[in-house]
Amino acid sequence: MRWLREAWWRVGLPDAVSWPAFYVTLLAGVIGNFANSSAAMPHLPRLAIVLVGQVALWIPLVVLRFTLLRDPHRSQPLIVLFVFLVGALMRLFVMTALIVSMYGSQSLNLLGRFLGIVVNIGPTFVITAIVVSALRERRRQISELAATRQRLEASLIDVDSALLQRNADAIESVRRILEGELQKLEGAQAERSLEVLQRTAVDIVRPMSHELAKSIPITVAMKANSSPDQVPWSHVWEVASRGRPFQPWFVGALMGWELFGMVIIRPEDSRAFVLFDAMFVVGFMIANRVLEIANRGKSGGFRIATTALASLVVSWLIAASVPRFLGTSPSDFGILLAFVLLGPGFALGTAILSALARERERVIVELTESAHVLGRSLARQRAVEWFQQKALSRALHGPIQSAVTAAAIRLDSDIREGTVESGVVETVRRDLIAGLDVLHQAPSEVTTLDQAIERMRATWEGVCAIDAAVSDAAAAAIAADGVLRSCVIDIVTEAVSNAVWHAKADQTRLEIALNPQASDVLIVEVVSNGRGDALSENRGLGTQQLDDWTLAWSRQINEQGSRLEAALPVVGG
């Protein structure tokens, strides 16, 4: 039933009124008119009348398309079908008027003709609307995914190639600034040196932060604009001709619907029409088997040619049998036209459309997968950015600032006590410059996840009980990856803090494990019994971290508490 609802939805979309639908309904109209009309009329004027009728049918549809049917997200199937009926009436009246004006008053079964239009052209219009809408949606998906992938690739290249180099640049920039400041101590008197140190201690944060910040790129994967179709038609033809190209039952259904219109006009030949339909089904089944064998190992061009030839052979053989079963003169143009054109048309059309849908689906899957991979990489790189920035910032605000402050205090103390020794300033300067090596060093102490959890327990002691369950595999992954560890600690720290302060939680549980379906994904869950409504008001807390570092995250809040779940990429998982 889901496919029925989807089909109904597609009938009401703007894609229902399209050039393919115009041409297909025109073909159906021509064939139907020639096959079913009993009026004696030359072929060319008849064709011209059908063309004018087709325009009359489409005028209200086009008007609808550019007025009420503009929103691609809003489906109005009833309006579309109503306007189609209005168009059918217009077609009927225009064609009747033309026939009467050209050939005088005739006995025309208007109701029958109207029903003929609805039965013959209506389903064609509906089916074309569904197919076109589905294919265009796939094409749009492919375009968006392809462009998104390009954006992700560009972002990743930008971050990946520049990350290490920019970090090195940042360190060197910082070092140059600090050394420049400290050089001022050279040859200076104690009091002057103290001023320099005090100014350095005060200004050490801002220029350092500036150097850090401007060297770290901010990358965002933007939503992409559409780009050209990613599935070339030449490739679709080639794919369509592989294996068993035809869809016999689909062809039979389409041909059957066309023949149904003829059955209404000529019920005495209904058995013959059923037989013809069955012949199409069986004929294309046999053609499938033959082509599967004949095309094995052959080139794409050969397969395409044989497939097209097979569709013509099957259809024309059946057309040739029409006089035998219907007793109709071979000059009955309409039925021959239907079998000769519609047979190959339906066969090749369904084959190509089926191949197109399969190929686009395949491309969508591939693009989705590549976007997923790139998204993982980008999340990882952003986490690395943050980790490096944090480490560098800690080096500056920790050891370096402390060293400068210590030097300033000692010098200040010596000055006050009048015990400044000669050469002390130079000693201080050399020691401080040597201390800048900390910028290149990895942190001497690494906080483990267990230590961080113990710190949380110590912090919230008496306020909130913290329970933690970390799987062995997750613990190993976290222990082996400093960046992942830092991200996990920051996320759970922020989540617990929010739960305690904003939701008044007194019980919190941490669950950290690898995704059972994907061992390269770490799942972090923070569950608390905090009052959820207060937490929901604080949208900005830590959400930027989650957006940047995770593959996906969610927060569920209800009266019982809150649950934060985040998925992070595991490197080497």
Partner 1 sequence: MPGAGRRMLIVEDEPLMASLLAEVLLTNGFAAEIAHDVIEARAAIRHFDPDGILMDISLGDGPSGVDLARVLAGQRPDIAIIFLTKHTDLRTAGIDESELPASCGFLSKDRVRDTEYLLEAIEAVMTDRPREVRHDMDPGKPLASLSAKHVEVLRMMATGYTNEHIARVKGVAVSTVERWTAEIFKELGIGGKGAVNSRVEAVRQFIAAAGIPDRL
- Residue 402's identity, in one-letter code, is S
In the bound complex, what is the minimum distance in angstroms from residue 203's beta carbon to partner 1?
9
Residue 328 or 401 with smaller CB distance to partner 1: 401
Q: How far is the CB of 547 from partner 1 (least distance, A)?
A: 8
Residue 17 or 204: the one with the smaller Cβ distance to partner 1 is 204
284 lines the binding site for partner 1 (CB under 8 A): no
Which of 86, 399, 424, 557 forms a contact with partner 1 (CB under 8 A)? 399
Stretch that binds partner 1, among 42-50, 372-380, 451-459, 565-573 (CB under 8 A): 451-459
- The per-residue b/e assignment along 78-94, b for 16 or more CB within 10 angstroms, e otherwise, is eebbebbebbbbbbbeb
Q: Which of residues 497-526 bind partner 1 (CB under 8 A)?
A: 497, 501
Three-state SS for 33-82 is: HHHHCCCCCCHHHHHHHHHHHHHHHHHHHHHHHCCCCCCCCCCCHHHHHH
Pick the stretch among 27-35, 257-265, 313-321, 483-491 that binds partner 1 (CB under 8 A): 483-491
| 509 three-class SS | strand
Tell me which H or E stretch contains 474.
helix 472-480
Q: Per rule CB under 8 A, is residue 205 in the interface with partner 1?
A: yes
Buried b (16+ CB within 10 A) or exposed e, 214-240: ebbeebebeebeeeebbbeeeebbbbb
Residue 460 CB, nearest distance to partner 1 (Å)?
Answer: 7
Question: Which is nearer to partner 1, 25 or 167 (by Cβ)?
Answer: 167
Closest distance of CB 451 from partner 1, Å = 8
CB of 149 to partner 1, least distance (A): 22
Q: Are 90 and 22 in contact (CB under 8 A)?
A: no
Residue 141 vs 405, nearer CB to partner 1: 405
The single residue listed with the structure tokens 């770290």 is 216
Of 226, 222, 219, nearest to 157 by C-alpha is 219
Phi-psi domain of 202 (left: phi exceeds 0; alpha: psi -120 through 50; beta: other): alpha
Q: Closer CB to partner 1, residue 11 or residue 487?
A: 487
The pattern of x and - marking residues 548 through 567 that bind partner 1 according to CB under 8 A reads x-------------------
* 11: its two tokens: 């009938």
Total number of residues binding partner 1 (CB under 8 A)?
57
Q: Is the dihedral of CA 85, 90, 93, 96 positive or negative?
A: negative
Q: How far apart are CA 340 and CA 319, in angstroms?
A: 6
463 touching partner 1, by CB under 8 A: yes
Of 218, 228, 293, 419, the one binding partner 1 (CB under 8 A) is 218
Handedness of CA 116, 122, 127, 131 (dihedral sign): positive
In the complex, the smallest distance separating the C-beta of residue 493 from partner 1, rounded to whole angstroms, is 6
Among 25, 128, 247, 545, binds partner 1 (CB under 8 A): 545
Count other Cβ atoms within 10 Å, centred on residue 479.
Answer: 14
The residues of the shown chain that bind partner 1, judged by CB under 8 A, are 197-198, 201-202, 204-206, 209-210, 212-214, 216, 218, 385-386, 389, 393-394, 397-399, 401-403, 405-406, 408-409, 412-413, 445, 447, 451-452, 454-456, 458-463, 486, 489-490, 493, 496-497, 501, 539-540, 543-545, 548
